Amino acid sequence: KRRFLSMGNGEVSFLERDHAVRGILNLTKMFKMFPETYAMAVNFMDRFLARLKVRPVHLHCLSITCVYIAVKLQEEQQYIPDLRALMSSSVKTELRAPCYSPTDCLRMERKVLDKL
């Protein structure tokens, strides 16, 4: 069942998902990452959203986490930004401060990797 496709009930809507995808695109462009990194991050996010119910408030953390995982798999070791740099740069692209910590992202990373 593709849960992220449903509207309401505290689940992620199409528009929220699209906004997160645009944020991922902006972040990967800002750090001059490979297009494959962008595609992989979106793939991870979509697969996770299809498997689990995610509240919209957690979507930003999920999208940053998916970028972080994809970066570690796709990019050259010397070009991998740390998690704090990704988070602070995402604030510039999202125009809002994150309501989560790097520890929250690392917990989310374990969840994503466990479910994929």
* CB-based contact 27:90 (threshold 8 Å): yes
Cα separation, 116 vs 110, in Å, equals 10
Q: Which whole number is the average pLDDT over 27-48?
A: 94
The predicted-structure confidence for 11-29, as pLDDT tens digits, reads as follows 888 888 999 999 999 999 9
What global pTM score does this model have? 0.82
Residue 39 has pLDDT above 90, yes or no: yes
The predicted-structure confidence for 50-93, as pLDDT tens digits, reads as follows 988 888 888 888 999 999 999 999 988 777 788 888 887 776 65
